[in-house]
Structure 1
Amino acid sequence: MRRLTALLLASALPCAAIAQDAASEATRTAQAELAKRLPLGDPRDMANATRGKLAEIADGVITDSAGKIIWDRRPYAFLASETAPDTVNPSLWRQARLNAVHGLFEVVPDRIWQLRGYDLSVMTVIRGKSGWIVVDPLLSEEAAAASWKLFADTVEAKAGKRPIKAVIFSHSHSDHFGGVGGIVTPEQVQRDKIRIIAPHGFSDEATAENVLAGGAMGRRALYMFGSILNPGPAGQVDTGLGPKLSSGTIGYMEPTETVSENGGPLTIDGLAFDFLDAGGTEAPSEFVFYIPAYKALHTTEVVTHNLHNILTLRGAQVRDALRWSKVIDATLLKWGGQAEVALASHHWPTWGAGEVSTLLANQRDAYRYVHDRTLFLANRGATLHELADATAEAPVQARDFSTRGYYGTLNHDMKAVYQRYFGWWDGNPANFNPLPPEQSGPRYVALAGGADKLLAAGKAAIAAGEYRWAAELLNKLVFAEPDNPAARAALASAYDQLGYQAESGAWRNYYLAGAASLRGNAITSVSGNGQSRSFVSAIPTAVFFDALATRFDAAKGLAIKGIFQFVLPDSKETVAVVVGGGVEVPRYGVTDTAPTATVALDRKTLDDVMLGQAQFPALMQSGAIRIEGDRMAFLSWFALHPPADPRFNVVVP
């Protein structure tokens, strides 16, 4: 169960390294056509991204206490060029250059500052009556600590040292709270009565997200964020939402108070805030807020400078595009015309009352377009894959870069809306139960007249610039013959061009990471974010046992039947796990009068196991775990929970 939500180790597939392709003529043509129809030279976003810059961390390098680099912008020096290379979509190149601007920025003179470019997310510091209010202290403690030091060395050196009076977690995704331990300690929070403020439902959502499906989500995240790619014009350039993920320690602190679903006014360190609930949009637990005294609107991750994901490629529950658009409209109705600056948990601010209102209206329209066009076409018979291809980009996307698909895309967002309403199936009975690729691949090869003919057809599609068709054909061949080097090389070539042309940073990263895996040159030394004890300890015990049940090897455990009871004295919790018929049913808070075995261990000991700091056999020998009843039955059952290999294949069988 160790590091269930971390990004996991990557593995290269066993084949000889193959050179990456240059941009093809078809790709160069596509890049040029896009550049012609978009005002890529519009200087307003860069002016906003650089406005108010006060200082920066030298070279953009952040290390942990042992000197290990957890953030480094030096390999991204290639983004200094204003001209996009042929291997990067020119619109994505523009976004990457904006996200590459890093440092401490003054947003409202002597009142609000932001630390940008030191993680995927942005940290905001607000001046209260007697101290500082910090919003979203990044993903990792090391990045947050370095960013706070930059703020203290720059602002406090001039204005005087002040205490942190409150920390606001805008929503339940870890890149907005995981670094809290880098700016305050639990002891400080308790001693100084620092307020930790979050939206309702935050605790459950923040600690449970990704735990049940953490292995697969972590593996896919390596592809989505480009973590297994080298930075460069033919590699990872950006995610669209921000530069990349930092690789430090994820922590957690329990909120001292939450804002209800009704939102409303709240005074924090003598400063009036007005909150609006946004749960169920970008995150299950989220809010936006306005500070009347500063005429500043914080849109968290509901409104950023891109079209967001309705369903993220790493995996998550499908989001509600309709509610998303309505929350933005409510924000516009409530504060449009009043707010003179809009700032968010990603990207750069927007200044000017008119510009803020336009930003909100355009973002609202983008999400409404995604939702309504999906249902317009679905209600006329279009299926999941047909409707996205049948839809031109929203009119607003041609005139407002903040609505373009740098992270989410119109294509996969529409598919997500379809999935939300209709599920994974398109209604065609032929697609009820299709053969998996390992079984269908050899049949396609036979139908094509052999591997050589299918390979030739794939290469012909590549030569014609039909990369999607080439990928479909060659993927069948690779799944039929995964060790065929020519098939892997050809499929990688198709992925190269699809990645180069992608405007979405997530799409680009996924295609190019797939190509790197096929060639055997994906980075294998990537390690994920380590989770601190504070984070692991906050995972609800019930969620831990639900996750444990997902690891039960039902095929080998069909004959096992019993009730295994866990007693956690330090947390005063009990869980009875009912086992039978290849299924585990954890009953949190339930004890059984006649269990097969009772296991007593502290929750702290369970945390040690989750952190990889202890193993069950040693703990049993030391007496830290006590077993009463049928000891062998317990051990036999527990042995049927093998950890999943986090390096499972993605682009080959």
Structure 2
Amino acid sequence: IYMYGAELAKSPAGQIGAGLGQTTSTGTISLIPPTLSITETGQEETLDGVRFVFQLTPGTEAPAEMNFFLPERRALCMAENATHNLHNILTLRGALVRDPRVWARYLTEAIELFATDSDVLFASHHWPTWGTAELTEFLSQQRDLYSYLHDQTLRLLNQGYTGPEIAERIQMPPALDDAWHTHGYYGSVSHNVKAVYQRYMGWFDGNPAHLWELPPEESAKKHVEFMGGAAEILPKAKSALEAGELRWAAQVLNYVVFADPGNGDARELLAEVYDRLGHGSENGTWRNFYLQGAAELRGNKAQASLDSASPDVVAALTLAQVFDSIAIRVDGPRAWDARVTIDWKFTDLDEEIRLRLANGVLVQTRNHDNTPADLTVTLTKPQLLQLVATGSLDGLQVDGDRQALATLVGLLDTGDRDFDIVTP
């Protein structure tokens, strides 16, 4: 919602794109389990009469990713590893930090493997680059882009600068800055540099003042009190806005809103700041974050409408993944004193898994002792998925205390898809 601006009005003052593409799909998310695994670079497969040569690129834009080459068509697909913009080292929607060093090395490998034999390069989201010389230059500049961000971040890190400080100091080479496909329409130099710092150093910058800070709401209330209250802050924040000090105005007004979410003047003034920051952003995702934040401050809160846990996606999960998805829903404090053991016997997969709840943790194991479980359920994987959806044991072969499952289900939390972001 925030990153892609899916709920914003499509207008010059609203959502005009997301940098990498237009916006998110409104269709149903699905997943087809693979029937053929690509396990090594250079692997060749013929699919529907077309010969593919694959290059594995794990740890680049995604933990598992690959490029492929079509020899007879002299066409090279770079997946999301070389697009017509600077991609994300860490996506603003949240993910594991990617490795720009490995990313750059795989781009070098792609040049060495395929460039001279290619007439056209294309990517998952973007238009083609035509010509061997042109696509080679494109790949080389993309490679140098990620290498530069990685290496210069570490150089400045070793001089004692923190992520935010490096983001303010780093300067891009003119040759890269002049190539418009290296610009931050999707990723940005600013948040990518901070991501590289995070990958190596984590969230803590070494300053003891940042080791145990107050949480945002409590910190905001004390900041506002120290600054003389909202009545003193708002005129100064308005002056900062009028002077173009937008980043500072946003920081100060955020304190006021978090200290008193009902302060309508503070909310509207902060929304104006976000409007200006959004409309001034080259980066599509930055624009969307700012404008969605402004909309919510004005009472237009977006509702999450896309369900990523569609039946097809859930059906494609392994048993371990299904039980992992249950484990992260356990409400730890409520489950501290609960003790539940359930054995699951899958007749279609010839597998047995024991779930044990203790100390607020749901653990799964395939190798357990001979101690009896509170409940044993014999079923198939499709029946498990139905059980997860309904919580009902009806129609299943059950041995033991049915209340064991009810206890476990009663300790599961339901996530809030519409939690607040710009207010506490």
Given the two structures, how large is their TM-score scaled by the length of structure 1? 0.62
Q: Which residue of 1 aligns with 2:298?
A: 519
The residue matched to 2:41 in structure 1 has which SS? coil
Task: Read off the aligned partner of 1:644 and give its amino acid letter.
Answer: G
Distance 1:522 1:234 in 2: 17
Is structure 2 residue 146 aligned with structure 1 residue 375?
no
The equivalent position to 2:343 in structure 1, one of 537, 561, 565, is 565
Is structure 2 residue 268 aligned with structure 1 residue 497?
no
Q: Which residue of 2 aligns with 1:533?
A: 311
Q: Which residue of 2 aligns with 1:583?
A: 361
Distance 1:601 1:499 in 2: 53
Is structure 2 residue 412 aligned with structure 1 residue 641?
yes
Residue-by-residue CA offset, 1:289-322 (whole Å, 9 max, x unaligned): 2222222111111111111111111111111100
The residue matched to 2:37 in structure 1 has which SS? strand
Residue-by-residue CA offset, 1:319-373 (whole Å, 9 max, x unaligned): 1100111111111122233311111111100111111111101100111111011
Q: Which residue of 1 aligns with 2:30?
A: 251
The residue matched to 2:355 in structure 1 has which SS? strand
CA change 1:364–1:493 in 2 (3 A) is same
How many aligned positions are there? 424
Task: Read off the aligned partner of 1:515 and give its amino acid letter.
Answer: A
Task: Read off the aligned partner of 2:292 and give its amino acid letter.
Answer: A
CA change 1:385–1:260 in 2 (3 A) is same
Deviation of the 1:286 alpha carbon = 1.5
Deviation of the 1:607 alpha carbon = 2.5
Given the two structures, how large is their TM-score scaled by the length of structure 2? 0.94
Residue-by-residue CA offset, 1:611-636 (whole Å, 9 max, x unaligned): xxx522xx33xx23454323334322
Deviation of the 1:431 alpha carbon = 0.8
Distance 2:125 2:367 in 1: 40
Higher relative contact order (CA closer than 8 Å, sequence separation 6+): 1
1:605·1:624 contact (CA, 8 Å) conserved in 2?
no
1:321·1:371 contact (CA, 8 Å) conserved in 2?
yes
The equivalent position to 1:262 in structure 2, one of 4, 25, 41, is 41
Q: Which residue of 1 aligns with 2:216?
A: 437
Q: Which residue of 2 aligns with 1:280?
A: 59
CA change 1:394–1:425 in 2 (3 A) is farther
Q: Which residue of 2 aligns with 1:418?
A: 197
1:570·1:604 contact (CA, 8 Å) conserved in 2?
no
The residue matched to 1:309 in structure 2 has which SS? coil
Residue-by-residue CA offset, 1:532-558 (whole Å, 9 max, x unaligned): 533221111211211211111111121
Task: Read off the aligned partner of 2:230 and give its amino acid letter.
Answer: A
Distance 2:261 2:397 in 1: 48
CA change 1:511–1:591 in 2 (3 A) is farther
Task: Read off the aligned partner of 1:551 and give its amino acid letter.
Answer: R
Distance 1:373 1:268 in 2: 42
The equivalent position to 1:615 in structure 2, one of 369, 377, 390, is 390
2:343·2:355 contact (CA, 8 Å) conserved in 1?
yes
Deviation >4 Å, runs of 4+: 529-532, 588-592
Q: Which residue of 1 aligns with 2:380?
A: 602
Q: Which residue of 2 aligns with 1:482?
A: 261
The residue matched to 2:45 in structure 1 has which SS? strand
Task: Read off the aligned partner of 1:584 and give its amino acid letter.
Answer: L
CA change 1:286–1:309 in 2 (3 A) is same
Is structure 2 residue 326 aligned with structure 1 residue 555?
no
Q: Which residue of 1 aligns with 2:73?
A: 294
CA change 1:452–1:595 in 2 (3 A) is same
1:561·1:579 contact (CA, 8 Å) conserved in 2?
yes
Task: Read off the aligned partner of 2:305 and give its amino acid letter.
Answer: S
CA change 1:633–1:392 in 2 (3 A) is same
Is structure 2 residue 233 aligned with structure 1 residue 463?
no
Q: Which residue of 1 aligns with 2:231?
A: 452
Q: Which residue of 1 aligns with 2:105?
A: 326
How is 1:43-192 mapped onto 2 (pairs within 5 angstroms)?
none
The residue matched to 2:116 in structure 1 has which SS? coil
Distance 1:588 1:455 in 2: 60
Distance 1:588 1:314 in 2: 35
RMSD: 1.9
The equivalent position to 2:96 in structure 1, one of 305, 309, 317, is 317
Deviation of the 1:592 alpha carbon = 5.3
CA change 1:472–1:643 in 2 (3 A) is same
Distance 1:422 1:396 in 2: 30
The residue matched to 2:139 in structure 1 has which SS? helix
Distance 1:264 1:530 in 2: 32
Q: Which residue of 1 aligns with 2:6?
A: 227
1:343·1:350 contact (CA, 8 Å) conserved in 2?
yes
Distance 1:592 1:307 in 2: 56
The equivalent position to 2:400 in structure 1, one of 629, 635, 648, is 629
Task: Read off the aligned partner of 1:648 and give its amino acid letter.
Answer: F
- After TM superposition, the structure 1 stretch with the greater mean CA deviation from structure 2, 377-386 or 250-259, is 250-259
Distance 2:17 2:387 in 1: 35
Deviation of the 1:270 alpha carbon = 4.5
The residue matched to 1:388 in structure 2 has which SS? helix
The residue matched to 2:341 in structure 1 has which SS? strand
Residue-by-residue CA offset, 1:409-453 (whole Å, 9 max, x unaligned): 111111111111111111111111111111101100110011111
Distance 2:412 2:345 in 1: 19
Distance 1:472 1:240 in 2: 25
1:573·1:589 contact (CA, 8 Å) conserved in 2?
no
Deviation of the 1:530 alpha carbon = 6.1
The equivalent position to 2:142 in structure 1, one of 341, 363, 383, is 363
CA change 1:588–1:484 in 2 (3 A) is farther
Q: Which runs of 5 or more structure 1 residues have no equivalent in the other structure?
A: 1-221
Q: Which residue of 1 aligns with 2:423?
A: 652
Distance 1:546 1:316 in 2: 18
Task: Read off the aligned partner of 1:635 and give its amino acid letter.
Answer: A
- After TM superposition, the structure 1 stretch with the greater mean CA deviation from structure 2, 537-546 or 289-298, is 289-298
Q: Which residue of 2 aligns with 1:337?
A: 116
1:290·1:296 contact (CA, 8 Å) conserved in 2?
yes
Distance 2:362 2:247 in 1: 42
Deviation of the 1:596 alpha carbon = 2.2
Distance 1:306 1:609 in 2: 45
Distance 1:633 1:256 in 2: 37
The residue matched to 1:258 in structure 2 has which SS? coil
Distance 2:313 2:333 in 1: 33
Residue-by-residue CA offset, 1:173-200 (whole Å, 9 max, x unaligned): xxxxxxxxxxxxxxxxxxxxxxxxxxxx
